[in-house]
Amino acid sequence: MKKSILIGLFLLSFSISAQQRFIDDSFPLKHTETKTYANKSGEALKLDIYQPEKDTMQQRPLIIFMHGGGFSGGSRTNPAEVKFAEIAAKKGYVIVQISYRLTRKGESFGCDYEASGKMETFKLAAENFMDAVNYMVQNQKEYNIDPSKIIVGGSSAGAEAVLNAVYNERLMFEDFSNYKNFDFAGVFSLAGAIVDARYITKENAIPGVFFHGTKDNLVPYATGPHHWCDRDKPGYIMLDGSKTITEKLRKLNTSYLLYSFEGGKHEHSGMPFDYFPKIFEFFN
């Protein structure tokens, strides 16, 4: 009897420890590494890798995050993104913040920029994102990564790129065969949208956490025009936002969290630090 109790207590303590690993701050931070994951038109695209120090786990979950900025600005070293990366690494994740081609730098991405150009912008950013994922998977042994446990996320433009790559891959890529060596386990979106929620299927209906203001003035909360452009404007293109995406996930019996901020605008593309405990519980 005593032996059985001891074994039970050991298993209980092991279970609690394993659960806390990805919820509590359990590790110090390792020195951040910067790598070049791709070269596009002479531009070296870089990523920063944040890891827990003194972590002996051999296959760790990976988070890859893509900053916002309207495809014209922003940085992987934004203070909020860096803080998020440090928080996640302390919990036991390997987390990567990526740079990508800012194809609209110094240019408009609003109603005066044609819809076909917006589609091409989405495609190029989605390609950069998938190249970054590929790089980390190819180096999975060096960073002790489990390629079946990859969480991907983004803010605003970055969220659009990530969500389109995950849920609209048939629209974004002519050849998706280069991206078959890994599985996405979760999505983390801050004020993001996709081109067409009808392309979400049982095969790609990845669980996710979504934050969005119901009156977002740039990226529609449900289904609406990008930047709320009038139909006769060159930049008129319909997008499906967080509400529409999660309605499709619900129909496909896929788990999700949707945080809707009544009357909120595009400020909800910022890091929701107050909600991190719930986010990490969900992904755990």
Domain ranges of the chain: 27-283
Strand, helix or coil for residue 22: coil
CB 45 within 8 A of CB 36: yes
**CA–CA separation, 10 vs 166, rounded Å?**
40
Quick check: 257 pLDDT over 70? yes
pLDDT band at 2 (very low <50, low <70, confident <90, very high): very low
CB of 174 closer than 8 Å to CB of 254: no
Residues 208, 176: contact at Cβ < 8 Å? no
> What is the C-alpha to C-alpha distance for residues 196 and 199, in angstroms, rounded to an integer?
6
Burial of 50 (0-12, 13-18, 19+ CB in 10 A): buried
List C-alpha distances in Å: 193 to 142, 186, 197, 246.
Answer: 33, 16, 9, 11
Compute the Cα dihedral for 231, 104, 179, 99 and give only its sign: negative
Q: What percentage of the chain reaches a pLDDT higher than 90?
A: 87
What value does the mean pLDDT of the chain take?
92
State mean pLDDT over 53-80.
95
Measured CA to CA, the distance from residue 213 to residue 27 in angstroms comes to: 34
What would the CATH number be for the domain defined by 27-283?
3.40.50.1820
pLDDT band at 20 (very low <50, low <70, confident <90, very high): confident
Element (H, E) at 213: strand 208-213
Question: In whole angstroms, how large is the CA radius of gyration of the chain?
Answer: 19
What would the two tokens of residue 23 be?
Answer: 């919820």
- Spatial distance between the Cα atoms of 168 and 84, rounded to a whole number of angstroms: 26
Would you state the pLDDT for residue 181? 74
**b vs e for 218-253, b when ≥16 Cβ sit within 10 Å of the residue's Cβ?**
bbbbbbbbbbebeeebebbbebbbbbbbbbbbeeee
- C-beta atoms surrounding 276 within 10 Å: 15
Q: What pLDDT does residue 41 have? A: 85
Distance of alpha carbon 77 from the chain centroid: 16
Q: pLDDT value at position 258?
A: 98
- The answer, yes or no, to whether residue 16 has pLDDT greater than 50, is no
Angle in degrees, 0-180, between the axes of helices 157-167 and 115-138, rounded to the nearest 10: 70
Distance between CA atoms of 194 and 123, rounded to whole angstroms?
A: 11
- Per-residue pLDDT tens over the stretch 150-172: 999 999 999 999 999 999 999 99
> Residue 110's closest CA among 119, 118, 102?
118
Asked whether the beta carbons of 122 and 172 are under 8 A apart, the reply is yes
185-218, pLDDT tens digit by residue?
999 999 999 999 999 999 999 999 999 999 999 9
Which residues does residue 39 pair with via DSSP β-bridges, in sequence order? 44
Place of tokens 């909600």: 275
